[in-house]
Amino acid sequence: MPTPSARWIRADFHTDPISLARRLIGCRLVRLLPTGERLSGEIVETEAYLGVRDRAAHSYGGRRTERVESMYAAPGHSYVYFTYGMHYCMNVVCGDPGEPVAVLLRAIRPVEGLDLMLAARTRAHGRTIPRDRDLCSGPAKLCQALRIDRACDGLDLASSDALAVEWGGGPVHPSRLRRTARIGVAYAGEWADKPLRWRLRDSEYVSRN
């Protein structure tokens, strides 16, 4: 396995979403701000979205609108969407080129730039965030903390100046992972219960349970 600081290249993203969801746990999500500041965290929770057959996926049934266009980009691109009128969430596109499958990043353990993350989260909703574990423990929280919005949609994680994935300490041993159903997809019928969410078993930095 490459050294911890090594950046993922295109080929590393060229895999199915289930494999990628597992492989990303323990790796590092890196955000470089326009000011040059570096923010990062260890990925501790992910969800796989299986594309046209997955009723919970935005690309279900082959839907291809302006919003989800990035899901059809080559593996390694970002798919950042806006939801609930106020939140952004970030995915890592994978699969074969043009196949609209992706992995949602649901939580990270803050590693670099905690002060800036706290400032960004506090600014986003008035009240201050008392604990480090509340900084990035959710898909929209981590986007807030890392200042990820629609301007970060469609970036190539293998070459972007703004977003990258590094190897960090992961991938972790399967015994350190817990697999559960995905969160917030009750509308997806039988797909709502499929175990497509992974989290670091003993991490305090996951979104819930």
Residues making contact with DNA (CB under 7 A): 47, 49, 56-59, 63, 65-68, 71, 79, 82-87, 89, 91, 102, 104, 121, 125-127, 129, 134, 138-142, 150, 182-185, 187, 207
Closest distance of CB 84 from DNA, Å: 4
| Shorter beta-carbon distance to DNA: residue 27 or 80 | 80
| Shorter beta-carbon distance to DNA: residue 27 or 148 | 148
With b for 16 or more beta-carbon neighbours within 10 A and e for fewer, the 8-41 pattern comes to: beeebbebbbbebbbbbbbbbbbbbeeeeeebbb
Contact predicate 79/48, CB 8 Å = no
Instruction: Give DSSP secondary structure letters for 121-156.
Output: HHHHTSS----GGGTSSSHHHHHHHTT--GGGTT-B
Contact predicate 143/63, CB 8 Å = no
Closest distance of CB 1 from DNA, Å: 26
| Shorter beta-carbon distance to DNA: residue 161 or 190 | 190
| Shorter beta-carbon distance to DNA: residue 33 or 192 | 192
Closest distance of CB 7 from DNA, Å: 23
